[in-house]
Amino acid sequence: MTSGDKSKAVKNSQGGLMIWHGMTCSGLWRLFRFKPLLHRSRLRRILSLPFSGVYNSVMSRLESAVYGRRVQNTEIEHSPLFVLGYWRSGTTLLQTLLSRDPQFQHLGLYRALFPWHFLLTEKVVTTLTAPFVPSKRPMDNIKVSWDAPQEDDMSLCIMAQVSACMLLSHPHEPEQFWRALKLRELPPEELQRWKDSLMLLAKKLTYASSCRIMMKSPIHTYHIPTLLEMFPDARFLYIHRNPYNIFRSSCHLRHRMIEENTLGESVFDGTEEEIISTYRFGFEKYEKDRELIPEGRLHEISFEKMEQDPVKELRAAYEGLELSGFDELEKALQPELESLKRYKKNEFYDDPYWVDRVYNELRAAFERFGYQKPGAVPTSQANEPTNV
């Protein structure tokens, strides 16, 4: 938000590990071809990249020699479940809850960060380095471990260099963010590299486990036609949240992730406008693209209702998506329900200017999902004061 705002938002460190440390030499070459922002104050980060690049390249070749043919011949029996929704709409919480269901497998942090060789290295490296993993994420209080569910967009950034995460190396060029939102406008070779990377990731996960893949990346909200082309029987779970709360939290998220991953100076100019415009574009695209999804393959869920009663909302989601096995998930969630209630979210102070701006520009989303303008009296209370 504005520089004068006060906030109780969390600011943790992710340690010395950056998303770029998962890239091979060829990935780093493509990254630097895009001319990322560089600064001498980040020299230690920059100088660490050749070493990680060589390591990942060597491990990738070794894994390919050991597992390559078997992975390529792997058939994906169960089409994935994709969790959709704009950043900070509750996708991580939803993914974390679904990960407790034994019928699903998820992409853990180690696999997301080292997609080129996790089949070969995961067991040894995670055992040796588990004590050094930061306890919480940089932008909130969600716990972190090598197995904690992560976005596959991190892997697609590392593998294909087509990702919203590319903004972290180009905070001065928001068009890097937009490139990944508009897949169909990419040069054919870049689009194919993105699709090949996602398919390889799905095959590697399937080779490692026969469970259905559950993937979460907010950016996939913009990719529904491509995902349906690749996985015609895929299921989609879309979570929505009050757009103004998303806006406030997304500003914080973007600032924290840039600070922790940039190779240059931290540039935040235009953050608010970009979040409003990308949210609006994503909402409009979702409203159009959801018509492509076959009946029984899409369910929408409210973050606010899920906070209040996760079991009830998840049960409805399983019924809506025609998924079996909810009893197993409910049994796994019962011990965690109390801790979910105690979870402390980031707190922000409202800025009247941005309250009005967000509501006016995103009114269609407020009305579509039934949210009031922040600070407004709920319609039911305004119309029926005697019942309050």
Q: How many domains does the chain have?
A: 1
Q: Write b or e for each residue in 224-243: b if 16 or more Cβ atoms lie within 10 A of its Cβ, otherwise e.
A: bebbbebbeebbbbbbbbbb
In a domain, 279, yes or no: yes
CATH number, domain of 28, equals: 3.40.50.300
> What does the block give as tokens for 202?
């799905």
Give me the count of residues in the chain: 388
In a domain, 241, yes or no: yes
In a domain, 378, yes or no: no
In a domain, 386, yes or no: no
Q: What is the pLDDT of residue 316?
A: 97
In a domain, 331, yes or no: yes
Q: What is the pLDDT of residue 347?
A: 59
Alpha-carbon distance of 80 to 223, in angstroms, equals 14
Chain centroid, CA 162 distance in Å: 14
In a domain, 2, yes or no: no
Q: What is the pLDDT of residue 379?
A: 41
In a domain, 90, yes or no: yes
- Cβ proximity of 163 and 219 under 8 Å: yes
Domain that holds residue 147: 19-371
DSSP symbols for 93-144: HHHHHHTTSTTEE--BHHHHH-TTTHHHHHHHHHHHHGGGS-SB-TTSS-B-
Q: What's the sign of the alpha-carbon dihedral 112, 172, 266, 359?
A: negative
Mean pLDDT by 10 residues, the chain (388 residues): 47 74 97 93 95 98 97 95 96 93 95 97 93 66 82 96 93 90 94 98 97 96 97 97 94 90 90 95 97 97 93 96 93 79 59 92 97 66 31
In angstroms, what CA-CA distances link 295 with 85, 153, 155, 340? 19, 26, 30, 32
Q: What is the pLDDT of residue 349?
A: 64
Say which DSSP state 210 is in: -
Q: Write b or e for each residue in 113-143: b if 16 or more Cβ atoms lie within 10 A of its Cβ, otherwise e.
A: bbbbbbbbbbeebbeeeeeebeeebbbbeee
In a domain, 35, yes or no: yes
